[in-house]
Homo-oligomer: A and B are copies of this chain.
């Protein structure tokens, strides 16, 4: 069972709009156990659309098209596919009623082109559009020919139709007993090449679950995907592979899930452990505090803190002695420790992180861009500091500083059981 996805629309061909439909459809198909090998994209042009659909039908069992079901003269998908398949377009009564009601409610005139949205391929299963007017269609072709799934282009219409109408129709038609279940593992502090080298044999011999690595900005994720007939079996397979991976690179594994982040993990642990935190930021200029401030619920553990960009702010706001700045410099172990400890005391928190360094592009105190001292203060303990050397742009160096600080906290604060 092999599918391919075609997006139709001149505005996406020209790059004026990014096609998010194909990615959504691919994920939904994967969840239904249907593999996708190709995506294509063409403009609102009947000849080129015909060519792309013909080719897709020649190499796949199912062709999914989004876009071109609307009322304007650019919308050619239904007409083109009907012509190619040699079937007629017929009116869907439910869709026509919805269109009539819409125009009656809004008081606008029902123009003939709006009636086009109620047409679908004869012999296909019409798919209800809960958020718009253009009806979709699932066409099961005779013999070995490829089936066709036609969806509207606007994501707000396509997504509910795909999830609630098309996927159940596909599952019923193809009697998919195998389900795909995914788990995402998130890593910080290890590069993709190093991670995949350490897991080389697992990746080489992957079968079930499969393992896919992906390098994101400043982190790497692994997606494990199990194909099973039941969810308990899937969880077992995923748990076993997760345990194997953790044995090798668990130190860098900070969390799970598509929407997770290091800041989210750290803030949840602070909340769980009732630990309060503040920050004193020089080169990061508030980015650490803004990052933890983006997590809902952080107010329980974060009262606020200090942005001490200039030396005078380090002195005026935190009281860092001028002799430390003069003797050690601001990019120094001593300054990092003082910034952390003094901000912690001023706001009476359990923890404080400090950031002082060279964001670039110019060097500072003779130290090159990317030189960063991080300080950590803990109630009842002597402050610590560590020196990092980051590469990249000013933005990279600042973000990397923040993430390294968050990772220091993650390693310090145990996860709740």
Residues of A within 8 A of B (CB): 10-20, 22-28, 30, 36-43, 45, 48, 52, 55, 70-74, 102, 105-108, 111, 113-114, 131, 154, 156, 191-194, 196-197, 212-215, 217, 223, 279, 281-290, 292-294, 296, 298-299, 302-310, 312-314, 316-317, 346-347, 360-362, 370, 389-395, 398
Contacts and interface: CB of A to CB of B under 8 A. Distances in A.
- Please tell me how many copies of the chain the complex holds: 2
Contact of A30 (B15, B36, B102): B15
Contact of A347 (B14, B23, B214, B316): B316
A238 B39 CA distance: 35
B307 A304 contact: yes
Contacts of A302: 285, 309-310
Given A26-B15, A48-B37, A194-B108, A287 B296 contact: no
Contacts of A312: 303
A386 to B, nearest CB: 13
Contacts of A314: 304
A360 B295 CA distance: 10
A284 B30 CA distance: 38
Given A105-B389, A287-B293, A16 B154 contact: no
Contacts of A306: 304, 306-307, 317
Given A40-B40, A305-B307, A310-B302, A105 B346 contact: no
B313 A303 contact: yes
Contact of A72 (B20, B113, B196): B196
B389 A114 contact: no
B37 A40 contact: no
Contacts of A192: 70-72
The 7 A-B pairs of least Cβ separation, nearest first, read A285-B293, A286-B286, A15-B26, A304-B313, A15-B23, A286-B289, A39-B41
A284 to B, nearest CB: 7
